[in-house]
C-alpha cells in the first residue's frame, strides 16, 4: 500500500489530542517570533535582570513594547480571522465562503480609502493615531449590517440570497474605492495599496487592548453556536425542526463574525488566506465538528499569522514585507500539498 | 590597545579628520530622499547608518542599509540599528512608529514635507539644526538662494503672453498616461521656467484624453526620463493618441528630465530649472 507522505505525517497527528497539538504549535510560533527580529536581543541578560552594569534600555523597549505586543496582536488577528472564517463557512454550508462575503473587508477598505484621501494629515493627536483603525472597524461593521438588513427586510433571508447581496455590496464598495483611486494623489494611492496588503507594523499595547476588548467577547459569543452550526450542515429547515431559530443564528453569527473581522482588519489591514484556508486545514485533519473546529481554527490561525509575521519582519530586515504576501506564500503551497496527499489517500 | 593594527588606526585617524568640522549627533537614520540629499550636501554622511528606499541620490546612498519604504517603515528595523537620532520627513509613517520610537528612547526629528522652493530652505534649516550645525545650514541655504536667483526664476513673474504652452505627461508603469493639471510639482516647475501649463481648471494628475490634448495644443511636451523610456522613447511619446496633431507633435518637441530632479524640489532644483529654461528658449528659437 502506498501511503502519501501526507497521510503518513497526519495519521499520528490525528490520534494526538487536537487541542494539544494546536496549542503546542501556537506556543512554538510565539517563542520563535519573540526570539527573532531585526534586532538581536541579549535574552539572558534581559530575562535574568543581571545587566553587568550595561544598560539595555532600547533592547528592553524593543522586547516589551514592540515585539511582544506584535506577537499578541498577530495571535488575536490570525485567530479571529480563522475563527470567523470557520463560522461563516459553516453558516453558508459553502467551503468557498470567507468573511469577505458579508462585506466586512470591502466595507473597511472603502472607509479606509475615504480616511486616507480626505482625513489623513487633517486630524491630529489620538485621532491621527487611531483614526484609520476606527474607520476600518466602523466601515466593516456598517457594510455587513447593511447586507444583513437588506437580506432580512427585502429578501427571503436564505443564505443564497445573503451571498448574492454580499456580492452586490462588494461590487458597490469596490467601485467607490475605484473612484477614490481616481481622485487620490500618488502618496495616498501608495498608502492605500500598502494597507490592502496588510501589516502588523502598527501594533502597540494600545491597539492590542482595543482589539482584545472587541474580539474576546465576540469569540465567546460565537462559540455558543457550535452545535447550531453543526445542525446547519443538514440544512436550514432541519435546523429549524430541531428547535433552533435559524434567523437568529444567522444574525448572531454574522454580527459576531463582522466584529471579529472588522477588528482584525482595523488592526492590521487586509490579510487574506487565513480566514479561508485555516478552517479547511483543520477540517481535513480533525473533522468538521464545529465545537472543536472553531477553537482549533483560532489556535492555528494565530500560529500561522505569528509564523508568517516573523518571516515578514526578518526576511529583508531592517525593512519588512507586507504580511499578507507572506501568509499566502507560506500557506498556499502547504495547503496544496495537504490537499494532494488527502486525494491520494482516498483513492487508494 | 595592542590589538589595534596599524591600518585600523589609520582609518580611525582619517575618519576623525573627516569629522574635524563638526561632531556627529551619534548614529543617524535619515528617512526621505530630500532629507538624505541635504545630509550629503551638509557633508554629514559619515553620521548616517541607514536611509530609506526613497533615498536614491547621491548614488553613494546605495551603500547604506535601507529601512524600507518611507510610508511603510518597520519600528524594530529602525531600532535594530541603534540610532541616536532619526531624521524623518513629515510624510514618513505609519504614525504609530513615532510613539514607539519614543518609548525606545530614540530621538526623532521631523522635517517638513512640502514641495516648493521656500520649503527647500526650511528643510535645510531643520536638518542642519538637528545636526547642531545651523551655521553651516545657513551657508547652504544662502548658496541655494543665490543659485536660484541666478536662474531668474521668481514665482508668478515668468509667464508672458508669448510663453510656450507646456504639456507634462506622467507615464509610469502601464495604463493610461497622466497629464499634469494645476497644483502639481510639474505645473509649478513649468511656470518657474517660463512656460504655461497646458491644462488649467483641474488639479492633480488626470488620465490623458486625446481630444483634450489636441484642444490644449501644447508647443512643448515634457516627460520624465523614466516615463519616456517606458513609453518607448521619443517615438513612443509622439505616438500617444492625439499628440501628433499638436504643435509639439508636429515639430517633435519632446523634452525629458530625470523624475526626481524635475519633480523633487530639492537642492538640485536651481540647476534643472536653468536647464529647462534654456531648453524652452531653444525650442522657441527653433520656430
Tens-digit pLDDT profile for residues A194-218: 888 888 988 889 889 999 999 999 9
Which residues of chain A does B82 touch, with a Cβ-Cβ cutoff of 8 Å? 58
CA angle (B257 as vertex; B251, B262 as ends), nearest 5: 125
Band of pLDDT at residue A152, cut at 50, 70 and 90: confident
Residue of B nearest to A70 (CA): B76
ipTM for the whole complex? 0.73
**Same-domain pairing of B101 and B171:** no
Q: Choose one of B150, B182, B207: the last residue of a domain.
A: B150
- Verify whether the Cβ–Cβ distance A313 to B68 is below 8 Å: no
Band of pLDDT at residue B86, cut at 50, 70 and 90: very high
Cβ of B86: how many Cβ atoms within 10 Å?
26
Which residues of chain A does B94 touch, with a Cβ-Cβ cutoff of 8 Å? 199, 201-202
- Verify whether the Cβ–Cβ distance A319 to B53 is below 8 Å: yes
Please count the structural domains in chain B: 2
- Verify whether the Cβ–Cβ distance B80 to A40 is below 8 Å: yes
Band of pLDDT at residue A18, cut at 50, 70 and 90: confident
Contact A143, A103 (CB under 8 A): yes
Residue B280 falls inside a structural domain: yes
pLDDT at B172: 64
Range from A292-301, B65-74, B194-203 that averages highest in pLDDT: A292-301
Which residues of chain B does A319 touch, with a Cβ-Cβ cutoff of 8 Å? 53, 66-69, 73-74, 77
Residue owning grid cell 476606527? A134
- Verify whether the Cβ–Cβ distance A201 to B97 is below 8 Å: yes
Which own/partner pairs from B38-44 qualify as long-range (CB within 8 Å, at least 24 positions apart)?
A: B38/B123, B38/B124, B38/B127, B38/B128, B38/B140, B38/B266, B38/B267, B39/B87, B39/B127, B39/B131, B41/B124, B41/B140, B41/B267, B42/B124, B42/B127, B42/B128, B42/B131, B42/B133, B42/B136, B42/B137, B42/B140, B44/B131, B44/B133
pLDDT at A54: 65
Beta strands B28-31 and B85-89 are parallel
Pick the more confident residue, B120 or A1: B120
Lowest mean pLDDT of A41-50, B115-124, B258-267, name the range.
A41-50
A-to-B residue pairs, Cβ atoms closer than 8 angstroms: 100
Pick the more confident residue, B65 or A186: B65
pLDDT at A80: 96
Band of pLDDT at residue B96, cut at 50, 70 and 90: confident
pLDDT at A93 over 50: yes
Which residues of chain B does A317 touch, with a Cβ-Cβ cutoff of 8 Å? 74, 77, 80
**Mean pLDDT confidence for B200-217:** 86
**Same-domain pairing of B169 and B247:** yes
**Same-domain pairing of B143 and B173:** no
**Same-domain pairing of B170 and B55:** no
**Same-domain pairing of B12 and B145:** yes
pLDDT at B194 over 50: yes
Cβ of A275: how many Cβ atoms within 10 Å?
31
**Same-domain pairing of B215 and B246:** yes
Test the B interface: residue of A56, A309, A320, A326 with most B CBs within 10 Å: A320
Residue B191 falls inside a structural domain: yes
Q: How far apart are the CA of A162 and the nearest CA of chain B, in angstroms?
A: 36
pLDDT at B1: 40
Residue B1 falls inside a structural domain: no
pLDDT at A139 over 50: yes
Pick the more confident residue, B63 or B18: B63
pLDDT at B14 over 60: no
When the pLDDT of each residue in chain A is averaged and rounded to a whole number, the result is 85
Closest partner CB to A318 (pick from B67, B71, B93): B67
When the pLDDT of each residue in chain B is averaged and rounded to a whole number, the result is 85
Closest partner CB to B105 (pick from A39, A57, A128): A57
**Mean pLDDT confidence for B213-241:** 90
Band of pLDDT at residue B154, cut at 50, 70 and 90: low
**Same-domain pairing of B11 and B144:** yes
pLDDT at A330 over 60: yes
Domains delineated in chain A? 65-347 (1.10.3470.10)
pLDDT at B4: 46
**Same-domain pairing of B179 and B143:** no
pLDDT at B76 over 80: yes
pLDDT at B272: 92
Residue owning grid cell 545650514? B137
Band of pLDDT at residue A69, cut at 50, 70 and 90: very high
Residue of A nearest to B184 (CA): A185
* CB contact set of B269 (below 8 Å; sequence gap of 6+): B117, B120, B148, B189, B261
Residue B25 falls inside a structural domain: yes
**Same-domain pairing of B258 and B177:** yes
Q: Choose one of B124, B150, B176: the last residue of a domain.
A: B150
Percentage of chain A beyond pLDDT 70 is 92
Which residues of chain A does B75 touch, with a Cβ-Cβ cutoff of 8 Å? 66, 201
Beta strands B205-207 and B178-180 are antiparallel
pLDDT at B120: 93
Band of pLDDT at residue A53, cut at 50, 70 and 90: low
Band of pLDDT at residue A10, cut at 50, 70 and 90: low
**Same-domain pairing of B171 and B127:** no
**Using CA atoms, how far apart are residues A23 and A30, in angstroms rounded to an integer?**
10
Residue B156 falls inside a structural domain: no
**By residue range, what is the domain housing residue B25?**
6-150
The answer to whether A318 faces chain B, any CB pair under 8 Å, is yes
Residue B271 falls inside a structural domain: yes
Q: Which DSSP category does B163 fall into?
A: P
Band of pLDDT at residue B18, cut at 50, 70 and 90: very low
Q: Choose one of B93, B121, B150: the last residue of a domain.
A: B150
pLDDT at A136 over 80: yes
**Same-domain pairing of B125 and B244:** no
Residue B159 falls inside a structural domain: no
**Mean pLDDT confidence for A43-63:** 73
Lowest mean pLDDT of A95-109, A304-318, B109-123, B270-284, name the range.
A95-109
**Same-domain pairing of B66 and B181:** no
Which residues of chain B does A194 touch, with a Cβ-Cβ cutoff of 8 Å? 69, 71-72
**Mean pLDDT confidence for A256-265:** 93
Q: Which chain A residues in 122-161 lie under 8 Å from chain B, judged by CB atoms? A: 128-129
Contact B207, B178 (CB under 8 A): yes
Residue B242 falls inside a structural domain: yes
**Mean pLDDT confidence for A240-266:** 90
What CATH number is attached to the domain comprising B229?
3.40.50.1980
Test the B interface: residue of A34, A38, A56 with most B CBs within 10 Å: A38
Bridge partners for B224 per DSSP:
B257
Amino acid at each position: 500500500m502506498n501511503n502519501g507522505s501526507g497521510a503518513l505525517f497526519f495519521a499520528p497527528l490525528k490520534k494526538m489530542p487536537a487541542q494539544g497539538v494546536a496549542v503546542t504549535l501556537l506556543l512554538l510560533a510565539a517563542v520563535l517570533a519573540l526570539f527573532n527580529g531585526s534586532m538581536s536581543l541579549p535574552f539572558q541578560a534581559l530575562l535574568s535582570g543581571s545587566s553587568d552594569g550595561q544598560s539595555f534600555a532600547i533592547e528592553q523597549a524593543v522586547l516589551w513594547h514592540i515585539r511582544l505586543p506584535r506577537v499578541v496582536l498577530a495571535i488575536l488577528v490570525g485567530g479571529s480571522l480563522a475563527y470567523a472564517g470557520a463560522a461563516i463557512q459553516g453558516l453558508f454550508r459553502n467551503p468557498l465562503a470567507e468573511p469577505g462575503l458579508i462585506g466586512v473587508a470591502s466595507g473597511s477598505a472603502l472607509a479606509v480609502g475615504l480616511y486616507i484621501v480626505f482625513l489623513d494629515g487633517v486630524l491630529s493627536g489620538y485621532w491621527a493615531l487611531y483614526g484609520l483603525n476606527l474607520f476600518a472597524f466602523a466601515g466593516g461593521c456598517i457594510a455587513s449590517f447593511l447586507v444583513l438588513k437588506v437580506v432580512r427586510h427585502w429578501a427571503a433571508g436564505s443564505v443564497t440570497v445573503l451571498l448574492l447581496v454580499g456580492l452586490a455590496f462588494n461590487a458597490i464598495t469596490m467601485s467607490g474605492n475605484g473612484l477614490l483611486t481616481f481622485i487620490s494623489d500618488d502618496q495616498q494611492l501608495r498608502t492605500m495599496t500598502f494597507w490592502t496588503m496588510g501589516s502588523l507594523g502598527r501594533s502597540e499595547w494600545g491597539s492590542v487592548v482595543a482589539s482584545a476588548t472587541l474580539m474576546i467577547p465576540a469569540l465567546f459569543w460565537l462559540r455558543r453556536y457550535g452545535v447550531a452550526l453543526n445542525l446547519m450542515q443538514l440544512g436550514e429547515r432541519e435546523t429549524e425542526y430541531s428547535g433552533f431559530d435559524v434567523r437568529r443564528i444567522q444574525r448572531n453569527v454574522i454580527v459576531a463574525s463582522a466584529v471579529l473581522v472588522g477588528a482584525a482588519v482595523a488592526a492590521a489591514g487586509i490579510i487574506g488566506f487565513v480566514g479561508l484556508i485555516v478552517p479547511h486545514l483543520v477540517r481535513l485533519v480533525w473533522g468538521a465538528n464545529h465545537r472543536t473546529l472553531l477553537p482549533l481554527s483560532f489556535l492555528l490561525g494565530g500560529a500561522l499569522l505569528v509564523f508568517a509575521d516573523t518571516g515578514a519582519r526578518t526576511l529583508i530586515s531592517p525593512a519588512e514585507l507586507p504580511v499578507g504576501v507572506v501568509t499566502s506564500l507560506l500557506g498556499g503551497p502547504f495547503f496544496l500539498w495537504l490537499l494532494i496527499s488527502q486525494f491520494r489517500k482516498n483513492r487508494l | 590597545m595592542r590589538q589595534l593594527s596599524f591600518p585600523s588606526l589609520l582609518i580611525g585617524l582619517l575618519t576623525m579628520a573627516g569629522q574635524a568640522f563638526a561632531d556627529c549627533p551619534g548614529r543617524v537614520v535619515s528617512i526621505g530622499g530630500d532629507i538624505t540629499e541635504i545630509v550629503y550636501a551638509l557633508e554629514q554622511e559619515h553620521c548616517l547608518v541607514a536611509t530609506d528606499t526613497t533615498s536614491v541620490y547621491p548614488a553613494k546612498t546605495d551603500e547604506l542599509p535601507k529601512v524600507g519604504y518611507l510610508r511603510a517603515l518597520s519600528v524594530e528595523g529602525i531600532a535594530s540599528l541603534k540610532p541616536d537620532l532619526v531624521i524623518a520627513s513629515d510624510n514618513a509613517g505609519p504614525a504609530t512608529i513615532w510613539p514607539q520610537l519614543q518609548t525606545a528612547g530614540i530621538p526623532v526629528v521631523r522635517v517638513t514635507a512640502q514641495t516648493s522652493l521656500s520649503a527647500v530652505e526650511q528643510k535645510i534649516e531643520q536638518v542642519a539644526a538637528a545636526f547642531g550645525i545651523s551655521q553651516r545650514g545657513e551657508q547652504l541655504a544662502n548658496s541655494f538662494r543665490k543659485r536660484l536667483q541666478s536662474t531668474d526664476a521668481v514665482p508668478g513673474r515668468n509667464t508672458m503672453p508669448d510663453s510656450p504652452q507646456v504639456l507634462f505627461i506622467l507615464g509610469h508603469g502601464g495604463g493610461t498616461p497622466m497629464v499634469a493639471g494645476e497644483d502639481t510639482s510639474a505645473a509649478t516647475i513649468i511656470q518657474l521656467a517660463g512656460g504655461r501649463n497646458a491644462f488649467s481648471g483641474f488639479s492633480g494628475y488626470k488620465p490623458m484624453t486625446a481630444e483634450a490634448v489636441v484642444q490644449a495644443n501644447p508647443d512643448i511636451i515634457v516627460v520624465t526620463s523614466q516615463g519616456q523610456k517606458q513609453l518607448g522613447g521619443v517615438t513612443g511619446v509622439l505616438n500617444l493618441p492625439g499628440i501628433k496633431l499638436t504643435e509639439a507633435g508636429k515639430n517633435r518637441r519632446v523634452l525629458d528630465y530625470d523624475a526626481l530632479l524635475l519633480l523633487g524640489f530639492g537642492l538640485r532644483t536651481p540647476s534643472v530649472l536653468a536647464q529647462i529654461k534654456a531648453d524652452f528658449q531653444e525650442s522657441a528659437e527653433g520656430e
